[in-house]
């Protein structure tokens, strides 16, 4: 948010807002959309992080017009890897697959390859 407020994000093609499943996080994402538009950035996407037993549809509904690219579940393996300083590539291959899926969706939406 700091970079948006100072206008240092000019020239950026798109923003990806990382949200957690909660109303404060969704409200912050909506604020980022408004700030981004003020800077001329028309594309803002969301990725949900630390998602438990919440449907992606519920998250998308809460985000409104912000497209949801994907989500990362809350997992004890990811927390443990972070605590031990291990890369997720080694301990959480599902997270890597999800990140690759999100990248593919993003490239499909922006036309990049």
CATH code of the domain containing 36: 3.40.50.300
The count of residues in the chain is 113
What total of structural domains would you count in the chain?
1
The pLDDT assigned to 16 comes to 93
Q: Which of 72, 69, 71 is nearest to 106 (CA)?
A: 69
The pLDDT assigned to 39 comes to 82
Mean pLDDT of residues grouped by 10 in the chain (113 residues)? 58 88 95 87 94 93 96 93 90 92 90 63
The pTM (predicted TM-score) of the whole model is 0.85
Q: Which domain holds residue 35?
A: 2-110
C-alpha distances in Å from residue 74, one per residue of 56, 66, 108: 13, 22, 26
């Amino acid at each position: 948010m700091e970079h948006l407020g100072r206008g240092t994000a000019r020239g950026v093609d798109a923003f990806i807002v990382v949200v957690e499943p909660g109303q404060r996080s969704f409200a912050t994402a909506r604020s980022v959309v408004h700030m981004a538009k003020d800077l001329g950035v028309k594309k803002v996407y969301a990725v949900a992080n630390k998602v438990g037993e919440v449907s992606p549809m519920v998250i998308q509904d809460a985000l409104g017009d912000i497209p949801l690219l994907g989500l990362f579940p809350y997992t004890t393996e990811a927390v443990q890897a972070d605590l031990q300083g291990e890369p997720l590539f080694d301990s959480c291959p599902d997270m890597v697959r999800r990140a690759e899926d999100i990248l593919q969706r993003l490239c499909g939406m922006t036309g990049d390859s």
